[in-house]
Amino acid sequence: MANHASADKRNRQRIVRTARNRRIRSSVRTVLKKAREALAKGDAQAAKQPVADAAKALARAASKGVLPENAASRVTSRISAQLAKLAK
């Protein structure tokens, strides 16, 4: 229980921010899962769009501060490398 009005406001902000971050993080995980499944099937052409969607979702989450920039870049790089490997 907050003892000050400012502490009560910070608590309300925390609740909203946590819900937003959870929603974004969940959608990123879902898109990543679809991209990884597409890569696992071995068809580079079919995996191109899911990988692009995952990269876009990761970049957006990083820009919002939900994910660290380096973590998003690392995951994007790894799935892009897997796609490039399939394309050969």
Cα Rg of the chain, angstroms: 17
The domain locations on the chain are: 5-87
Run means of pLDDT, 10 residues per run, the chain, 88 residues: 92 97 98 97 95 98 97 98 94
Instruction: Pick the closest to residue 81 from 37, 44, 34, 41 (CA basis).
Output: 44
pLDDT at 59: 98
pLDDT at 60: 98
Q: Are 59 and 28 in contact (CB under 8 A)?
A: no
The CATH H-level superfamily of 5-87 is Ribosomal protein S20 (1.20.58.110)
pLDDT at 1: 77
State the residue for tokens 């660290």: 68
pLDDT at 70: 98
Instruction: Pick the closest to residue 38 from 27, 25, 53 (CA basis).
Output: 53
At 38-60, the pLDDT tens digits run 999 999 999 999 999 999 999 99
pTM beyond 0.95: the answer is no
Give 55-59 contacts, CB < 8 A, sequence gap 24+.
Answer: 55/79, 55/80, 57/27, 57/28, 57/31, 57/32, 58/28, 58/32
